[in-house]
Every structure is written in C-alpha cells, then in structure tokens.
C-alpha cells in the first residue's frame, strides 16, 4: 500500500452536513416518540419521556419540536407517510393483474418494518385517544381515503375479471376492516399470534370473496 493510500484509508469520515445531521436528529426523536407512545400511551407521553427514550436532553427535544402537540403531530405524519409509501411501493413492484395487486396490498400491511409492536401500539395510541382524533382526521384522512379508493379499484377489477357477484363497496369494507382488526388483535392479545398467522387470517377473508384467486396463503397463481 502506498503512503497516500494508507493516509486515505485512515482519514476519519466527513461529518454529516448540518442539515442532514438535523434531519437525522429529528428522526431519532420521532422514533423515540413511537417507542414512548407504545410504552406509555398518548396521554402519558411527555417531551421529558421522549428525551429519556432517545438518550438526549429535554432542551434538544424543545429545540426541534417546541411543543408536545407538534412532536406528536409530526410523529403521526411520519407514521402515515411511512405507511403510504410502503403500500404504494408494494403495488409498484407487483404485477399488473388485479389479483397480484390485491396480494401485494395485503402483504404490505404485514411488512416487518410496518407491522412491528412499537408501531402498532403507537397507531393504537393515536386511534384510541379522543384528543388525538381531530389531529388524525386532519392529517391522515386523505391517506385513508386514498388507500380505500385504491383497494376498491383493485377489488372492482378482480370482481369483473373473475366473474364474481359481490357488491364492491361491501367487499372493500370487509377486507379493510379485517386487516385493521388483525392489527388491533396483535396489540391487545396477551399472547399475540405471528405476522404470518395474521396474514393468513386476512388472506382467508380474501379467499371468501375470490376463491378462484386466493387461498389462506395468498395468491393461488402468480401468472394471473
């Protein structure tokens, strides 16, 4: 190794730009907020508790978010964006048929990153606390409507393609409610079942409406 090469390999990494460092710190605090919501619930989550979970000072939390309401609102938006980007990415990578799209959409809900205990419990904190409902409806209502419309469009295509005789609004509602109910199940049961079993439950629902395309393990034929 030449002297120049040796010097190059021992040089410390360049520090992150200030903007990147600031964004990294904000995400670190949001992740700590998710963990705190999961452990303490919405009402008992404080900026002090978040600082402790992050291993940072209370002043740093104040610097980035100023108030508890802003911290919780931005955490909710982070979760909502993460959830939307997850299912949209799953659809973009799936095949073009309605059955493939439905399979991908349902699997996305149980992606390991999305369907993990802290995030599930944080979502439940936002859903279950009355004072968070206005914030949730304002910030996440459009995301919910987009997901519901996407699911409805996929189910409508699959009903037509498969010659099924079901009311699309009813099918869409039942599949959505089952998926959301399984999420709640995973947070409230003393011994929750696995993500694989949760997905089997949702696919069993899909099988009830689309038996030519699904069984309890998912899509029957990935070429359709």
pLDDT tens digits for 40-51? 999 899 999 999
Work out whether strand 214-215 and strand 218-219 pair parallel, antiparallel, or are unpaired: antiparallel
Integer Rg of the chain from CA: 22
Residue 5 clears pLDDT 60, i.e. is over it: no
Residue 13 clears pLDDT 70, i.e. is over it: no
Give the pLDDT band (50/70/90) at residue 222: low
Residue 16 clears pLDDT 50, i.e. is over it: no
Give the pLDDT band (50/70/90) at residue 139: confident
Alpha carbon separation from 134 to 61, 73, 82, 127 (Å, rounded): 24, 11, 20, 10
Q: Are 94 and 154 contacting, i.e. CB atoms less than 8 angstroms apart?
A: no
Residues of the chain above pLDDT 70, percent: 89
Residues of the chain above pLDDT 90, percent: 67
Q: Check the CA dihedral 73-68-54-35 and report its sign.
A: negative
DSSP bridge partners of 219: 214
For the entire predicted model, the pTM comes to 0.84
Task: Look at residues 109, 126, 125, 118 and name the one whose alpha carbon lies nearest to residue 180.
Answer: 109
Distance between CA atoms of residues 118 and 107, nearest Å: 19
Distance between CA atoms of residues 168 and 159, nearest Å: 8
The fold of 68-219 is Tetracycline Repressor; domain 2 (1.10.357)
Residue 204 clears pLDDT 90, i.e. is over it: yes
Q: Which residues of the chain form beta strands (DSSP E)?
A: 214-215, 218-219
Residue 58 has what pLDDT? 87
pLDDT, average across residues 68-72: 92
């Amino acid at each position: 190794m030449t002297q120049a090469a040796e010097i190059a390999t021992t040089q410390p990494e360049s520090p992150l730009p200030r903007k990147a460092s600031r964004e990294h710190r904000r995400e670190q605090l949001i992740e700590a907020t998710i963990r705190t919501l999961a452990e303490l619930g919405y009402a008992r989550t404080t900026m002090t508790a978040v600082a402790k979970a992050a291993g940072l000072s209370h002043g740093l939390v104040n610097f980035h978010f100023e108030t508890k309401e802003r911290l919780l609102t931005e955490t909710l938006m982070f979760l909502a964006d993460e959830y939307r980007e997850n299912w949209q990415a799953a659809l973009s990578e799936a095949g073009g048929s309605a059955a493939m799209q439905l399979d991908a959409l349902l699997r996305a809900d149980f992606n390991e990153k999305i369907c993990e205990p802290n995030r599930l419990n944080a979502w439940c904190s936002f859903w279950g606390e009355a004072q968070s409902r206005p914030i949730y409806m304002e910030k996440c209502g459009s995301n919910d409507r987009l997901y519901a419309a996407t699911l409805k469009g996929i189910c409508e295509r699959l009903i037509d393609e498969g010659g099924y005789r079901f009311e699309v609004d009813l099918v869409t509602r039942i599949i959505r409610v089952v998926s959301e109910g399984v999420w709640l199940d995973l947070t409230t049961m003393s011994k929750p079942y696995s993500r694989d079993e949760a997905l089997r439950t949702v696919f069993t629902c899909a099988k009830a409406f689309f038996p030519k395309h699904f069984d309890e393990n998912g899509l029957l034929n990935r070429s359709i």
